[in-house]
Chains A and B, each alone.
Chain A
Amino acid sequence: MSADAVNTGSRTTRLLGAAVLIGVLALILLGFFGAPEDDEQRDAVRMIFVHLPSAFGIYAAMATTAVGSVMWLWKRSRWWDIVAHSSAEIGVIFCGLTLFTGSVWGRPTWNTYWDWGDVRLVTTLILFLMLVGYLALRSAGGDENAMATRAAVVGLLAAVNVPIINRSVEWWSNRTLHQKSSLTDGNLEDLTLFTLFVGIVVWALFFVWAMIHRFRIGWLEHQLRDIDLETALIQRRAEAATESSGEESR
């Protein structure tokens, strides 16, 4: 590639990207050919290797958004605002994937794609819609600081939903099709558990990779807005100077 080519990558992101690719290959091999089938669910259990890491990804993304939002409200630092925005965007993808893979997994195991009575499903959908609203608010335009403050409040409200999602299977145990905890109930075989951890690590590495790139994009967008504003001010001053010199010469 040419030396002129610029991008948001760096040595760190290239290493992370390579680790994610290798991890995905390992996950496919382990998930489809290594881990044994479940006695009850048969091969449908293999959906857990993409579903649960996506759900963990939501937790990581929302925790980052919450920290970024609090720091923006406290310090008014653009750096933290971009962190919150970046992680919310990645969070909406994880949330969408969790809902989708859960729905596809639900058909062979629960005999339904969706159950409106399941509190975990509905609260996850609410979180997804809140994150979509967060991103819509971000793209609405207007004063950058006011937009960041409004988004930070929505981000924090959305983050409050996460512990509710997590504990819902215990708080409303009679209103869910979900089991209590796949990781701690001790029903998973050793290789299944290992594959699950591989999946969680791969998703975590992807989250970090995407966060770095998305943060840099947000930073560049902010720089461009500043440059555009500066250029417009210079042009306006030049126009005003031309007008005043024209009036003086008359």
Chain B
Amino acid sequence: MTHLGYLLVGWGVSLGCGVLYAARLVLRGRDLAARVPVEHRRWMTSDDGAGSAAESAAPDQGAGS
């Protein structure tokens, strides 16, 4: 394969940035969700999967879930 170095750098940085940003979002979300009282956690769910009801009942202006 030609230009393998360029391809690995380009693809690696793209996918790596995606993974790092995704991890940052998940961790920041966990941190914030733990600090906000339950009644203020609209759209939030717990990891036991009990969140689907909250999700379907959630937004008053469309998306977000």
* Mutual binders A and B: yes
List the interface of chain A (C-beta within 8 A of B).
Answer: 1-12, 17, 24, 28, 31-32, 37, 42-44, 46-47, 50-51, 54, 77, 79, 90, 93, 96-97, 100-101, 104-105, 107-108, 206, 209-210, 212-217, 219-221, 223-224, 226-227
Given contacts A104-B9, A210-B25, A217-B29, contact A43 B1 (CB under 8 A): yes
Can you name the residue of chain A whose Cβ is closest to the Cβ of B11?
A50
A214–chain B nearest beta-carbon distance, Å:
6
B26 at the interface (CB under 8 A from A): yes
The 6 tightest CB contacts between A and B, nearest first, are A8-B29, A1-B47, A220-B32, A6-B33, A3-B48, A213-B25
Interface string of B9-34 (1 = CB under 8 A from A): 11101110110011001101110111
Residues on B with beta carbons closer than 8 Å to the beta carbon of A37: 2
Q: Are B29 and A104 in contact (CB under 8 A)?
A: no
Can you name the residue of chain A whose Cβ is closest to the Cβ of B42?
A219
A201–chain B nearest beta-carbon distance, Å:
14
**Alpha-carbon distance A83/B26, docked complex (angstroms):** 18
Can you name the residue of chain B whose Cβ is closest to the Cβ of A2?
B47
A93–chain B nearest beta-carbon distance, Å:
6
Residues on A with beta carbons closer than 8 Å to the beta carbon of B15: 24, 50
List the interface of chain B (C-beta within 8 A of A).
Answer: 1-4, 6-7, 9-11, 13-15, 17-18, 21-22, 25-26, 28-30, 32-37, 40-52, 55, 61, 63-65
Residues on B with beta carbons closer than 8 Å to the beta carbon of A32: 1, 7
**Alpha-carbon distance A15/B32, docked complex (angstroms):** 22
Q: Are A212 and B64 in contact (CB under 8 A)?
A: yes
CB<8 Å pairs between A and B, sample of 18? A2-B48, A6-B41, A7-B26, A8-B29, A9-B26, A10-B45, A11-B52, A12-B55, A17-B22, A43-B4, A97-B13, A97-B17, A104-B13, A217-B28, A217-B29, A224-B35, A227-B36, A227-B40
Residues on A with beta carbons closer than 8 Å to the beta carbon of B18: 206
Q: Are B44 and A213 in contact (CB under 8 A)?
A: no
Given contacts A6-B41, A43-B2, A47-B10, contact A216 B26 (CB under 8 A): no
Please name 5 further chain A to chain B contacts, defined as beta carbons within 8 Å, in addition to the given A8-B43, A212-B65, A213-B29, sorted by A numbering. Answer: A8-B33, A8-B44, A79-B61, A206-B22, A227-B36
